[in-house]
């Protein structure tokens, strides 16, 4: 096998497996004809192959029409947000249980031990596991069930049933506190309500079955969680690999509109979530950033969809 | 009727003379467009898929020659009509300029 053939075979993997089985041999044959006597793979051919493959994947998932692009783009954005929420929740749960069991303070500062009675533990467990369950349900093509799960988890934070281990001990939502003191709980609730909103859009007026996604989507957050709990990594640092993946999606979004909708839908609240915590901003800045992120989300998604709207030849797949 | 992109237009134009396989379509499109349309395999097959989906072309047969798979594509009646309509539109757009350009004075540089 020549270097060119190997390169094109690898690039062909950008296409969905079914498409590759049906057309792969034909495309490789045409590429061999186009290649002629040249030994080195053409960058132009390779790039075009990857681009067409990503587009084909997009079409296979969305059906290629505007409604499908929006539905699947929003579902994808919701999935990523849920996975981020799930990762954060698992980190928090790990710390909470660890320090409650040992009855010792937070290692990074003079934090109080986390009091957890059995009923509280059930609530904390529910809040931590619901985002994982919701993400799993999205992967299985469900829309309403994960919406309900995300909203339930959000309600647990806003309802004061669960909270965070923070500088003042275990802090849960309290109506008696100022909104600034409730900022973390409010921020988390918004972080969970955003995917619920996206799932509502994804499930609305659905004309084709929702796409199923590989459970491998859960693998990265799960691995990060285990790594984090095992290594005492600073929480905000472990979010950056996810950021890198989102950057890759942004690049892919240039070719596949539904990915672009997803990326914009995700990137803004993620930046709002990560940046203030990374620079150690006070609570109110965090809350303002999350609120601004949520407000920008709708605008950015819309702008992204409009930017890709001139794709007049975006039609359903032929085969 | 949507306007066609240039690769789509020349892909259809390549099939006017009869069924062709992918590589021949790309060669033909390049020739009839004076080298402007240089289709890559990726864009060629995206265009072919779209045209198949729209019923403007159809598969005319398959064969394997020296280990290489060849699938032949043929223009359908509606493909021929779409191509004709697009050519008329382009001719109309060109006529707007061609008929008046010589009658109007060249602006000062």
Q: Residues A5-28: what's their mean pLDDT?
A: 90
Are the C-beta atoms of residues B62 and B69 closer than 8 Å to each other? Answer: yes
Domain shared by A233 and A161, yes or no: yes
pLDDT at residue B100, as a whole number: 86
What percent of chain A is predicted at pLDDT more than 90? 17
Torsion from C-alpha of A203, A204, A208, A213, nearest 10 degrees: -20
Q: Does A313 score more than 60 pLDDT?
A: no
The domains of chain B are located at 6-97
Looking at beta carbons, which residues of chain A come within 8 Å of B52? 318-319
Chain-centroid distance of CA A7 in Å reads 30
Fold of B6-97: Arc Repressor Mutant, subunit A (1.10.10)
Q: How many domains does chain A have?
A: 2
Q: Does B47 score more than 60 pLDDT?
A: yes
Q: Residues B37-54: what's their mean pLDDT?
A: 93
Q: Is residue A33 in a domain?
A: yes
Domain shared by A14 and A161, yes or no: no
Q: Is residue A317 in a domain?
A: no
Q: Residues A155-183: what's their mean pLDDT?
A: 71
Tell whether A36 is within 8 A of chain B (Cβ). no
Q: How many whole angstroms separate alpha carbon B40 and alpha carbon A24?
A: 15
Domain-ending residue, one of A19, A39, A61: A61
Domain shared by A206 and A226, yes or no: yes
Q: What is the pLDDT of residues A262-275, one digit of tens each?
A: 665 566 556 655 55
Q: What is the pLDDT of residues A212-221, one digit of tens each?
A: 776 767 776 7
Q: Does B24 score more than 50 pLDDT?
A: yes
Tell whether A12 is within 8 A of chain B (Cβ). no
Domain shared by A143 and A186, yes or no: yes
Across the interface, do B46 and A23 touch by the CB < 8 Å criterion? no
Across the interface, do A315 and B50 touch by the CB < 8 Å criterion? yes
Residue pairs between chains A and B whose CB atoms are closer than 8 Å:
72
Q: Does A27 score more than 90 pLDDT?
A: yes
Domain shared by A216 and A247, yes or no: yes
Q: Encoding tokens for residue B95? A: 């006529």
Chain-centroid distance of CA A231 in Å reads 23
**Residue-range definition of the domain harbouring residue A33:** 3-61
Domain shared by A137 and A188, yes or no: yes
Q: What is the pLDDT of residues B55-106, one digit of tens each?
A: 999 999 999 988 888 999 999 999 999 999 999 999 999 998 988 888 888 8
pTM of the model: 0.63
């Amino acid at each position: 096998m020549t270097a060119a053939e190997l390169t094109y075979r690898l690039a062909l993997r950008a296409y969905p497996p079914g498409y590759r089985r049906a057309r792969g041999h034909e495309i490789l044959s045409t590429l061999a004809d186009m290649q002629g006597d040249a030994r080195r793979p053409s960058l132009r051919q390779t790039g075009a192959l990857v681009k067409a493959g990503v587009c084909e994947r997009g079409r296979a998932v969305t059906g290629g029409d505007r409604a499908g692009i929006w539905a699947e783009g929003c579902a994808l954005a919701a999935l990523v947000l849920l996975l981020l929420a799930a990762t954060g929740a698992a980190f928090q749960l790990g710390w909470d249980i660890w320090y409650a069991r040992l009855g010792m303070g937070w290692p990074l500062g003079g934090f109080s031990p986390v009091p957890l009675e059995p009923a509280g533990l059930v609530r904390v467990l529910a809040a931590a596991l619901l985002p994982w369950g919701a993400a799993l349900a999205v992967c299985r093509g469900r829309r309403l069930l994960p919406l309900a799960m995300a909203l339930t988890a959000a309600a647990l934070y806003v309802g004061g049933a669960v909270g965070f281990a923070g500088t003042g001990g275990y802090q849960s939502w309290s109506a008696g506190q100022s909104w600034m003191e409730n900022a973390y709980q409010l921020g988390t609730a918004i972080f969970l309500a955003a995917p619920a909103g996206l799932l509502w859009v994804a499930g609305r007026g659905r004309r084709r079955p929702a796409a199923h996604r590989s459970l491998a989507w859960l693998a990265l957050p799960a691995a990060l969680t285990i790594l984090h709990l095992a290594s005492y990594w600073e929480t905000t640092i472990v979010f950056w690999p996810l950021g890198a993946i989102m950057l890759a999606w942004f690049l892919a979004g240039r070719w596949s509109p539904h990915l672009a909708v997803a990326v914009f839908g995700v990137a803004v609240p993620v930046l709002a979530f990560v940046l203030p915590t990374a620079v150690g901003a006070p609570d109110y800045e965090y809350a303002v950033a999350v609120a601004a992120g949520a407000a920008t989300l709708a605008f950015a998604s819309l702008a992204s969809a409009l930017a890709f709207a001139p794709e007049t030849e975006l039609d359903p797949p032929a085969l | 009727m949507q306007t066609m992109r240039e690769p789509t237009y020349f892909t259809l134009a390549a099939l006017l003379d009869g069924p062709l396989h992918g590589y021949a379509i790309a060669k033909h499109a390049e020739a009839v467009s004076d080298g402007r349309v240089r289709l890559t395999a990726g864009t060629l097959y995206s265009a072919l898929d779209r045209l198949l989906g729209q019923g403007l072309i159809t598969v005319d047969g398959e064969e394997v020659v020296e280990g290489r798979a060849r699938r032949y594509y043929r223009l359908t009646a509606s493909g021929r009509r779409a191509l004709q309509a697009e050519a008329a539109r382009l001719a109309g757009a060109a006529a707007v300029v061609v008929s008046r350009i010589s009658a109007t004075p060249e602006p000062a540089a």
